[in-house]
Structure formats: C-alpha cells, structure tokens
Structure 1
C-alpha cells in the first residue's frame, strides 16, 4: 500500500487524461515527485526507525498513506495536484521500507531471512500488479478515482494488522546515550549507485509500460493485463530468489548482478518489440525486464542487511536513497527520451542503465569484502 500510489498513477494515466490533460512528460514529473519524497526521507527514516522502533512506525505510515490516497481520489483536478500529493506518498514509502527492514531483521528467523525479505520486497511489484489489474477492474468500469479509494481502504486494514511491539520503548535518555555503530560508507555508496541505476530502469518502465503498449496498438485492457503479468513475474522471482538465498552461504551480490544483466536483455527485447510493434516480443520483454531485471530487490536488501546486522535500518536507508533517486530520475529522463524520440529509445536507455547497475553491484561487493577482511 505504501508503494501503490506511483504505480496507480502510471497505469491509470490513460484514463486520468479523460478528466484533465496530462502529457507524457508531466506524467514522468508526477511519478518523479513520489520518488523525490522517498529520497528526502530515506536516510532520516532509518534513524527514526532504529530510535522509536519499526513496529511503531508501521502502525502510523499506512494511516497517513490512506489519507493521501483519498486526497488523490477526491482532489485531483490537474497533473500538478497529483504531483504535489505524490511527494508525501513517497515519504510514507521510505518510512515503511526502513521500518519493515528493521522489524524483519530483529524478529525474523536468521535461517529464513532470505525468504522473508524476498516476500517483503515482493510487495512492491505486487503493487504494480494491482495497478495493472485496476485498469480493467475499476478504471474502465466505475472510474479511476475508485482505484485510489480502494487502495486507501486496504491501507487502513494493513495498519490494523501490524502486530504490537514485543518490547517497551526505551527511555529517551537511554536512546540518546547508547552507542551507535558506524557504517563504512564507501561500499554502501557503490551499492546505492547500483540500486539507483537498477531502479532507474524499472521505475521508468513501470511508469510508461501501459502507455507504451497502447501506443504499439494493444488495447487498454490488454495493456493493463501485460503490466499485471510483469508485476506477477516480479513477485514470483523475488520470493523464489529469497528462498534460494537461504540455501547459499554467500555470493548474493553475484547473483544480483546476473539478474540485472538478464533484465537488461529483457529491456532490449522490449525495445525491439516496441519498434516493430510486435506483441510477441513486447510481452516476454516486459515480463523478463520487470520479472528478472527488478526481481533482485529483496535479495539486495537481504545481502546488505547480512553485512550490517548491527545497523539494518540505517544501512538500507542509505542504499534506499540511491534507489529512490533512481526512481525519481527514471520516469523523468525516460519520459523525456520517449517524448523527444520514441518508446523504443526509452526502453533501450533502460537496458543500458540496468547493465551499468550490474557492474556497480560487482564493484560494491568487492570493496565491501575487501574492507571487511581488512
């Protein structure tokens, strides 16, 4: 529910244009606002979570998110209103991400944390899947505003379902005087760049996949189903890769790099299919690009937390900053590329940045291993 606002805007853009004008470039800026809000709150959210507790944050963020979703449903009369409301939605997403990472690192079974983080990160592509299904289920029947209203109701339900804290909150003086472990920033910066490049590709594709497939001659409902299929593939890959990670002692970052390279091939296939307007290439290209090329996220968080057991929220908050910046720049730059050239050029750019992300992961892993040995 914290991830769904940006995906709903991306998949429902075609229907939203019937209520008010919104160009491809404006759509990219609107989604960028979401990731900008998340980037601004990524690092502070990790500190807040480790100070007040992950569960307490998770009790509050879904309620705030629900109010913002209702605001989009009721108040959106132009693209800039959507843009303004998506900024705090991004902050909610960042707070939810670091708090849930801390929650699972502290309360999850160590032998099952690969699967645990895979399932947790599957929530993001599951939001993409729901966004795709919202097109034929709600947008084409009762209207796009009802999709945001439904998401708000589900967000309130998640707030109720969050479990209670198992330990009382520490006194303020104890929290201030407790020793705060330091984080080696050099490898974290490299890994943040890697996730930023990877999310750059995925967020740009998620924002324009439905619009691109419609432009290629595919019906609106079918385009939404393609987005849902790609989201479902990402859900499956994230969960399966997490379960497999629990059976390996190491090499998690190497697996991530291979997945990114496969994803780059998926983006390239999508670019060719878009250029030739061949659904035979568009569908598998989209599924591989998002399914594998974005299926590494849960494994990535697990690998980072495994190397930073004392500071899981702060470490993932720092890498999340890279991911959020990538998500912020992806829709904008890919949107500009599509606007000035075509959709195939946008997908080609996504393929390039995804391959660069694989190289950055390998480099960050080597630096992290060398620093740890030293």
Structure 2
C-alpha cells in the first residue's frame, strides 16, 4: 500500500508542479494561461487514450513491472522538463510521457490491491492510493514557497526524478496474493488477458467521473493563479493549495474507511460529494471576500475531489475478474476529463474571467453527480454487477 501510494504521488507530481509554478513558467517560456492549460491537457489526453490498453497490458505483465516502469517514465520526463523546456512543445511532449506513466502506475496499483487486499479493506486501500493525487498537489504547493521561490521553477522539476528513483526501490519485487484467493501467484507475475467488455452503466459512470475529475483537476491546477487574481500573495496561495490538498487527502482516506462498511454504496457517495463540490464552486463565482473564497476552495477540493478512491473501488467491484481493465475504464474518464478541464478553465479565465471558469466548474460537477447517480446498477450487490458485461 505504501509503495503504490508513493508511486502514484510521484507519477502525478509533474502536473501539479506545472500548475503551482504556472506564473513563473509563463514568464520564462512566454506563453499564456491557455497554453499552460493546453500543456496539462495533453498529459490527460495521454492518460485517457492509453488507460484502457495499458490496463490490459498490466493484466499481462503484473503490478510490479507496471509500477516500476511508470516511475521510470515519470522521472525521466520530469527531468526533461527541468533541463530542456524552452518552448511550449518542450513542456508538452514530456507531459505526454508523464500521462502514460500515470496510466501504468494507476492500473498497476489497482491490480496489486485487487490481488493483495481483502475485500473488506479495499475501500481504505483505494482511498489511500487516491490520496496520493492531492499529496502530489500538496508537494507542489510546498515546493512553491521553498524550491521554486529560492531557486527557480526548474529546481522543483529537477528534484522529482530523485524521488522517482527512491520510490521505485519501495516497490516489492514479488507480492503474494491474499490467502483464500484463486491461487498464490505473485502480483508481479503475468495473468491472462481480461475480456475488454464493460457494462453500459460503468461507461456512463466513467463519463460522470470524467466531468467531475475535469472540474476538480482544473480547480487544483489553477487554484494558485486564481487566488492571486483575488489579491492573495503567491506564498499565501501556495499555502491555500496545501491546506485544500490536505482536506482532499483526509476525505479520500476517511471515505475509503467508510466504504468498507457492509452497507456502504460508493457510487451514491460520489453523487453526493460532487454536488457538494459543485456548490462550493458556486460560491467562488461570486466576488466574495478572500477568507470565504479560501473556505470554498478547501471544500471544493476536499469534497469535489475526494471521491476518486470510491470511483476506482466501485469499478473494481464491478469487474473483480479484471480489476486493471475496470480501473482503466475509470481512468479513461479521469484522463479525458482531466484533459478538457484545465484547457477549458484556462481558456475561460484567459479570454473571459475566473468567474466564467468557476461557473463551468460548478456545472460540470453537478452534471457529474447526475451521471454517477444514474450508474447505481454497478453498485455491489445489484443484479447488473453480477451479470456478464454487455
């Protein structure tokens, strides 16, 4: 669990380093907020496009190789940004590689948890894994008033590869399956390829996940510049990002523990949390005082971004025979949403206003709630969850 969580934190760290350092990157590379949003977009396009095939690959090669391979790719790509980025393309192309790395690490983690963690503890396991994403946001926020302010934005990117190498050492070479599983094969050993079909409800759920994730990712990516636009200093905005990330971390872990209860329905919780996040975004539409906006931002990332562990848990429960494939389906939604979200937010903020960007964020979260509620058939215990995929 520690290895998977650390691996995902490290793999997604570059995207939040870009967001937290966006003002400095724009000044250095001579690009706009829209261009920064586009750079983050290509990363999530790569995640969305590669998630499903990478999930099938992970079923073949096993969790250990997927996790270590993803860390290697992420570290090399992050170093390339810190050393070589002088134009927008030199920023965007390494982020494509980071996107593939995220897909490898995320599906590898799902495969490992499905094999190693008992059903009654998978909720907290996935919650801790998904807490890795706001943990990366937290690290980016900490890097802003430390490394970036004192040594420049490139210093943060050059420190990340060392972290990737260290985390790769934590990944176990072989992890036996939980006693009582079908066999005692290691997670790192190849498994038979899983059928690619998924239910319509799972696809619909993935679409809702995409909308919610796009809104939440854009909020985290642009929280620092949006806060400085309201009058906060860069350091204060970085601290706000840290606090909001901590709220999201606590939410993901706490919700994971709740999801392990016998009567818990993760998808219903996703629908409720995205509504709460959407209402927090509504508050940010108005020209409220900075303290009120800060509280709304914390709620937005704590609730509106605290449900992704529940999403993966619901998907894996829907396809226990092929957890990496199920995780890849959800990750496709996350990737496509993460691609569209920052691009849309950045374009609206640059061409219209942050008010327009927060309006779109609220609408996306509320729509995501409706789609999640419509996908209740994949909930554990529902007839469709036990039926063959369509």
- TM-score category of the 2 structures, normalised to the smaller one: over 0.9
TM-superposed deviation, 1:306? 1.6
- Tell whether 2:340 aligns with 1:329: yes
In 2: Cα distance, 1:70 partner to 1:373 partner: 45
Give the equivalent residue in structure 2 for 1:320. Answer: 331
In 1: Cα distance, 2:69 partner to 2:331 partner: 20
SS at match of 1:17: helix
TM-superposed deviation, 1:179? 7.5
In 2: Cα distance, 1:231 partner to 1:238 partner: 11
TM-superposed deviation, 1:307? 2.0
SS at match of 2:150: coil
Q: TM-score, normalised by structure 1?
A: 0.94
SS at match of 1:227: helix
- Tell whether 2:340 aligns with 1:340: no
In 1: Cα distance, 2:171 partner to 2:318 partner: 27
The answer as to whether partners of 1:56 and 1:165 remain within 8 angstroms in 2 is no
Aligned residues: 367
- Tell whether 2:234 aligns with 1:220: yes
Give the equivalent residue in structure 1 for 2:162. Answer: 153
Gaps of 5+ in 2: 1-9, 176-184
Give the equivalent residue in structure 1 for 2:207. Answer: 193
TM-superposed deviation, 1:18? 3.5
- Tell whether 2:90 aligns with 1:81: yes
TM-superposed deviation, 1:371? 2.6
Give the equivalent residue in structure 2 for 1:309. Answer: 320
TM-superposed deviation, 1:77? 0.9
User: Residue 375 of structure 2 is aligned with which of 342, 364, 367?
Assistant: 364
The answer as to whether partners of 2:50 and 2:103 remain within 8 angstroms in 1 is yes
User: Which has the higher mean CA deviation after the structures are superposed, 233-242 or 249-258?
Assistant: 249-258
CA change 1:140–1:180 in 2 (3 A) is closer
Give the equivalent residue in structure 1 for 2:178. Answer: none
The answer as to whether partners of 1:183 and 1:315 remain within 8 angstroms in 2 is no
TM-superposed deviation, 1:328? 0.3
- Tell whether 2:72 aligns with 1:66: no
Give the equivalent residue in structure 2 for 1:299. Answer: 310
The answer as to whether partners of 2:304 and 2:365 remain within 8 angstroms in 1 is yes
Superposition pairs of residues 124-163 of structure 1, within 5 angstroms: 124-163=133-172
In 2: Cα distance, 1:300 partner to 1:83 partner: 28
The answer as to whether partners of 1:202 and 1:290 remain within 8 angstroms in 2 is yes
Q: TM-score, normalised by structure 2?
A: 0.90
Deviations for 1:179-231, whole angstroms, at most 9, x for unmatched residues?
Answer: 74464331121011010010110121122111111111110110111111111
Deviations for 1:138-190, whole angstroms, at most 9, x for unmatched residues?
Answer: 11111111111111111111111100124469998xx6xx5744643311210
Give the equivalent residue in structure 1 for 2:123. Answer: 114
The answer as to whether partners of 1:199 and 1:323 remain within 8 angstroms in 2 is yes
In 1: Cα distance, 2:119 partner to 2:225 partner: 42
TM-superposed deviation, 1:15? 1.8
CA change 1:286–1:168 in 2 (3 A) is closer
In 1: Cα distance, 2:311 partner to 2:366 partner: 16
TM-superposed deviation, 1:367? 6.5
The answer as to whether partners of 2:59 and 2:194 remain within 8 angstroms in 1 is no
